[in-house]
Structure 1
């Protein structure tokens, strides 16, 4: 089949049609930045201790009723135990002062009357609402895990559904799911209900992000496609992420925060009439007339003249003769060279996700204000995405991806060398690691989309995103490994990043290559990737890559 980009070259790369698609699809990812990290503030654990019932105790005795505990070299109130109130009451009734009594001789008891939570930072979180502390403290990180399990399931199903039924329906249905169930969470009467709804929100969150990413990658072409897939969607995601701490700072009640986060989703409903289906996908399904109608409408918006027949009848017949069956996730491991690519990508995606979300969720535990730390963690992604775009524009993919993971993992080893009196340096190193991992994540989204053909692209990106969510589901517990060794999470993550950096070098190169349309083209390119660089010195790779296509077509499997 004649290359899609060559066939539609008359449209240009940055006309009115492409501009509308670019900005509408980019803005659709802003709520994803809200949803992915909202748990940082929704489930943060404020300072707390056992509640002391009103039992005619003086303020002095109430303060003395909570044992002290040494935490990281500092004395803090015990969060889960108190001295027996009956004993305290008797001592107070007998006229003793706390200074006159050896409190270590008094028995302890659990917080049978509940807890008192500090309101210095939050009015309420799900932790204070549902008492997710002490014996139930495991529920706090498990809340994040449940969300990421929803993301995992969404990645698995949405990719295959999108490849079967189209990018556009999946994009809008999953946007609706995310918006609606985020709002319904406001009315959660218990942690169990909240968690079930959070799982469903996760189903929609990654599904609409991947669908928007693939849809834009297939409609846009050349340098604009690279800009969109590496910087566009990622930058708007970071904008949503940066807005999250601002919203949480202004609204300290978790239910009201959810209302604020759900409202922007309503704005995107009218986009259905402005965002078309992917012509590439329609052609892969043999729906040539629908694809031509979209391209002709695009030509009209760009004020250019479209050919009378854009996709020739012989091309449609060629696809029908092939009789290609719908592709599934099994096609990702069907042949040896595609299987090798898939397995390497699975490892890399899982490592990046574990590190990216682990460091992001850890911002509330870092030294300093949690809102400021979260904003810095989000803002550091902007230069990371700019660097990823420049790398995709001018550097080979393998080198860029490997270097970003080497940076992200390497600096984490140095955190253990920082003196305790320089906490800001530790934060700076962790943010540098976040920079590398965010850059690597953006690169891998674009790189993965370029490696797989149209008939398998959404399934591939969705499957990689699904596997990556195994890493993100582990991340909330991964950062708790510091109870065994303060720097253990950084050491393990650094080792995984270096391993992934090395394995990335075994992936095929896609720099200056056309997007493959069929599995056969992908297999050919995997074996003769050096041919992707033909004529790069003489031509602009985004304007004339037909020579490469002709060479690929002439090579036998």
Structure 2
């Protein structure tokens, strides 16, 4: 069948940005809005309300004075969350006629929350934390719950490519959308933490599958110019739009079950896109289904009001005289130049993903209104994506990447020396750090595409995505470090981001360079590989031809 270059050449009669491309881009971008809802949803669904040990009135007949002092105070003056004074001791003092002021409470023995907890309901009616008491000795379950969602990302990154190559882009896209809606719907009715976690994992797998499949489908249907705009800004902007709508829904739906059902219901409309989004003609050609591919291209031409040839594609006869070397994922480590390049990119990808998601999940811990903070965290992504797209067209990749990372690390580390009462300064620095990380996130994806050769590009991008998922799995545990020290997550993220910034300076520059076709065409990695400058294959052929002519 026709290869990729044949497809580009034989569909040149289609407009670059006609009604067909605009409609297709819009529909596929809209499928990203629910992903923006659900990925940071743990900010509200899994938030930990203020809580204290429950002192049941029906079990212990304490007076109001003794009930008010039944919870010990911590060193900072806050009520203890995981312990109370022994109720039988307090009851003994109460029945003996003592008042709390007559007793040295520090000498009264303590006990755990044997009767459960009571939660502050002023912000949330309920969360999964208050539903299943994921506090104190069970608080480890909260980061695990969030990490399982990103474990689903990891599996979805691996399976979606295999399934879409086997069954087609369109069917996998809509199967993933339907699967995600079903998982979220069932989560809203789950009455077990284990069941919720299983659905959390499956939902994450479907979310990542729909994202990657939509990305591939639109990239294969659009021309090169339209593809750059869509992949660097289009999908990301609609993801950010969904992210911005999340706090609005959460503000009016304070119960976690109602929130899940409320944000899930509109997403069912995406299933109606089945009749408007076509299959990828490139995939159909790879399967030998030439007639179906031609039918889609002709309908696109009709939508764009251009005339399509009667016969567009013809089978490609391979005589076996030329065989291209087959590459696999092992070559990312076997080839020296690519090994060092991949090692640096994997560190950068994992660090950016981990820090980005950690900062997204941390908005409920910031000073001020959690809903406003979440909205601001989403809103800063809009200009970040737009600026990244503009800078990607005109500025060097390597220095831009290092600059975004350095700025993000700087804001996070400086935030720790701000006085505790300057809350608005701390929140502003947090948002500026999130802005820089978002820009770096968008930048590294397109930058990596330019660094890897064509024969390994898809495999390499899949490997980067898999490593990034490891960073996302660790993100909830980075926030969990707040239980030891509020500054610890920021210091750790700041150091890792600073390391990524320095390492990114070792990456080769790709701005203005043609895409490498084979590993031999790649830019040399600084300090460890060949020293001759990069030459594209055609340029090398011209140079050799000129040398032969000079010798003659």
Judge which range, 475-484 or 11-20, deviates more. Answer: 475-484
In structure 1, distance between residues paired with 2:325 and 2:191: 47
Contact kept, 8 Å, 2:523 with 2:534, in 1: the verdict is no
Kindly state the Cα deviation for residue 246 of structure 1 after the two structures are TM-superposed: 0.9
Judge which range, 216-225 or 190-199, deviates more. Answer: 216-225
Q: Does 1:524 align with 2:506?
A: no
In the TM superposition, what are the counterparts of 1:374-413 in structure 2 within 5 Å?
374-413=374-413
Partner residue in 1 for 2:307: 305
Partner SS, residue 77 of structure 1: coil
Partner residue in 2 for 1:222: 224
Partner residue in 1 for 2:210: 208
Partner residue in 1 for 2:197: 195
In structure 1, distance between residues paired with 2:508 and 2:243: 32
Kindly state the Cα deviation for residue 477 of structure 1 after the two structures are TM-superposed: 1.3
In structure 1, distance between residues paired with 2:259 and 2:25: 29
Partner residue in 2 for 1:111: 113
Kindly state the Cα deviation for residue 296 of structure 1 after the two structures are TM-superposed: 2.4
Cα 1:529–1:25 shift into 2, 3 Å: farther
Kindly state the Cα deviation for residue 98 of structure 1 after the two structures are TM-superposed: 1.3
Partner residue in 2 for 1:50: 53
Partner residue in 1 for 2:549: none
In structure 1, distance between residues paired with 2:519 and 2:312: 25
Kindly state the Cα deviation for residue 213 of structure 1 after the two structures are TM-superposed: 1.6
Q: How far does the alpha carbon of each residue in 1:308-360 deviate from its partner, in whole angstroms, 9 at most, with x for none?
A: 443454xx224987677997644644544444443332211101111101111
Judge which range, 247-256 or 506-515, deviates more. Answer: 506-515
Q: How far does the alpha carbon of each residue in 1:489-543 deviate from its partner, in whole angstroms, 9 at most, with x for none?
A: 2222222223223333444555456777xxx4565355798667xxxxxxxxxxx
Partner residue in 2 for 1:237: 239
TM-score by length of structure 2 reads 0.89
Judge which range, 440-449 or 337-346, deviates more. Answer: 337-346
Cα 1:191–1:436 shift into 2, 3 Å: same
In structure 1, distance between residues paired with 2:89 and 2:36: 51
Partner SS, residue 217 of structure 2: helix
Partner residue in 1 for 2:469: 469
Contact kept, 8 Å, 1:163 with 1:458, in 2: the verdict is no
Kindly state the Cα deviation for residue 291 of structure 1 after the two structures are TM-superposed: 3.4
Partner residue in 2 for 1:101: 103
Contact kept, 8 Å, 2:126 with 2:256, in 1: the verdict is yes
Contact kept, 8 Å, 1:10 with 1:304, in 2: the verdict is yes
Kindly state the Cα deviation for residue 11 of structure 1 after the two structures are TM-superposed: 1.2
Cα 1:246–1:473 shift into 2, 3 Å: same
Partner residue in 2 for 1:360: 360
Judge which range, 196-205 or 4-13, deviates more. Answer: 4-13
Contact kept, 8 Å, 1:34 with 1:243, in 2: the verdict is yes
Partner residue in 1 for 2:550: none
Partner residue in 2 for 1:78: 80
Backbone CA RMSD of aligned residues? 2.8
In structure 2, distance between residues paired with 1:283 and 1:319: 19
Cα 1:325–1:93 shift into 2, 3 Å: farther
Partner SS, residue 77 of structure 2: strand
Q: How far does the alpha carbon of each residue in 1:130-176 deviate from its partner, in whole angstroms, 9 at most, with x for none?
A: 01111101111111111111111211222333344433232222112
Kindly state the Cα deviation for residue 244 of structure 1 after the two structures are TM-superposed: 0.9
In the TM superposition, what are the counterparts of 1:16-95 in structure 2 within 5 Å?
16-54=19-57, 55-70=60-75, 74-95=76-97
Contact kept, 8 Å, 1:50 with 1:116, in 2: the verdict is yes
Kindly state the Cα deviation for residue 199 of structure 1 after the two structures are TM-superposed: 0.7
In structure 1, distance between residues paired with 2:234 and 2:13: 24
Kindly state the Cα deviation for residue 87 of structure 1 after the two structures are TM-superposed: 1.5
Cα 1:254–1:89 shift into 2, 3 Å: same
| 1:253 aligned to which of 255, 265, 284 | 255
In structure 1, distance between residues paired with 2:418 and 2:150: 32
| 1:155 aligned to which of 157, 167, 179 | 157
Partner SS, residue 14 of structure 1: coil
Contact kept, 8 Å, 1:159 with 1:461, in 2: the verdict is no
Contact kept, 8 Å, 2:453 with 2:521, in 1: the verdict is no
Partner residue in 1 for 2:425: 425
Partner SS, residue 356 of structure 1: helix
Number of residue-to-residue matches in the alignment: 532
In structure 1, distance between residues paired with 2:398 and 2:172: 31
Kindly state the Cα deviation for residue 265 of structure 1 after the two structures are TM-superposed: 2.4
Cα 1:245–1:173 shift into 2, 3 Å: same
Gaps of 5+ in 1: 533-548
In structure 2, distance between residues paired with 1:346 and 1:504: 11
In structure 2, distance between residues paired with 1:291 and 1:510: 34
Kindly state the Cα deviation for residue 379 of structure 1 after the two structures are TM-superposed: 0.7
In structure 2, distance between residues paired with 1:219 and 1:139: 43
Partner SS, residue 445 of structure 1: helix
Q: Does 1:9 align with 2:12?
A: yes
Kindly state the Cα deviation for residue 442 of structure 1 after the two structures are TM-superposed: 1.4
Kindly state the Cα deviation for residue 115 of structure 1 after the two structures are TM-superposed: 0.5
TM-score by length of structure 1 reads 0.88
In structure 2, distance between residues paired with 1:276 and 1:456: 27
In structure 2, distance between residues paired with 1:524 and 1:67: 68
Partner residue in 1 for 2:373: 373
Contact kept, 8 Å, 1:226 with 1:392, in 2: the verdict is no
Kindly state the Cα deviation for residue 452 of structure 1 after the two structures are TM-superposed: 5.2
Kindly state the Cα deviation for residue 272 of structure 1 after the two structures are TM-superposed: 2.0
